[in-house]
Amino acid sequence: MKIKIPLKFAPFFGVILMSPLKTHADIFDWSSTEIQYLHGSGYQMPKNPNDIDRSIITVSHADGWTLGRNFFFMDTLFSEKGEPSQVNIYGELYSYLSFSKMTNSDLKFGIFKDLNLTAGVNLGENLDSDKSGTRVFLYGVTVDLNLPAFKMFNIDFLCHNILEPVELGNSIQITPVWKLPFELGNTHWSFEGFADYIGSKGGTYKDNFLAQPQLRLDVGEFFDVPNRVQIGIEYQYWYNKYGIKGFNESLPQALFVFKF
C-alpha cells in the first residue's frame, strides 16, 4: 500500500530522495556502511506464549553532505524457534538538514553543537503474510550535542504518526543516539546505541520505551584491519512493546559487525 505523506513535506523528501543519486564527489563529505548479524532467544510476540529465537541481519548506512546528513537501516529477521518459520523486514530512513550548514555559520555554544530539521519513515513487512505492514511518518528537530569523550550524541524530538496497519494519529518520539569509544589496555571498544520513547496515542496504544545499547570490541585490529570487524553484545529492552500495556521484552543478543 502507498504511504500518505502530506504535500507540505514533499520538497523536503525530494532532497532526501534525490541526494543519493548524485555522485560521492559531488555531495558526500563522509559515509559509513556496516552489516550486523544478531542472534538472540526470548523475543516476544502478542498472543504467543513462547519465547522466540531469531537471527537478524542489519544493513545500515550514514553519510554527511552539503546541507546535513542521512541515516538508513534495514533489518531482515529470520524466525527459528517459537513461532512458524517466517521472514520479516523492517527499515527506517531519516534525513537531517543542519542549521549550521544551511546558514554557513557556527552555532556551537557550550555542549550545544547544532540543530537540525528532521524527517523520517519507518516501514515493515512480513514476507509470509498479506496483511499490511508498519507505516510510520516522523518529523521534528534533532539537537546535536558535544559531550566529553563521546564521538556522537544526538537527541531527536519528533512527531510520531502511525499510518498503518491502523491509523492511530500523532504522539511524540524522543530518541537519544550515542557513540562512546574507549580503550581497555591495548584493546579498543565502543558503547553505542539508541533509545526510543514514544508517547501514548489514546485508546489502547500506550507509551512505550525501546532501548538497544551495544558493547563492541574491535577484533579487526588483531589481524591488522582495525575498525573493520567487531564482536560484542546488544541488550534489547522494550517496555509496552507495540504500545501494548504490560507486554515487555528483555533479552541479550550476540553481535557481529563488518564495517566497510
pLDDT tens digits for 44-96? 999 999 999 999 999 999 999 999 999 999 999 999 999 999 999 999 999 99
Domain ranges of the chain: 7-16+32-259
The average pLDDT across 152-166 equals 93
SS3 159: strand
pLDDT band at 105 (very low <50, low <70, confident <90, very high): very high
pLDDT at 26: 60
Pairing type for strands 229-239 and 214-218 reads antiparallel
pLDDT by residue (tens digit) across 174-229? 999 999 999 999 999 999 999 999 999 878 899 999 999 999 999 999 999 999 99
Question: What does R_g of the chain's alpha carbons equal in angstroms?
Answer: 19
For residue 223, give the 3-state DSSP assignment: helix
Q: Is 221 helix (H, G, I), strand (E, B) or coil?
A: helix
CATH assignment of 7-16+32-259? 2.40.230.20
Say whether pLDDT at 162 is over 80: yes
pTM of the entire predicted model: 0.87
Q: What is the pLDDT of residues 9-54, one digit of tens each?
A: 343 444 444 444 444 556 789 999 999 999 999 999 999 999 999 9
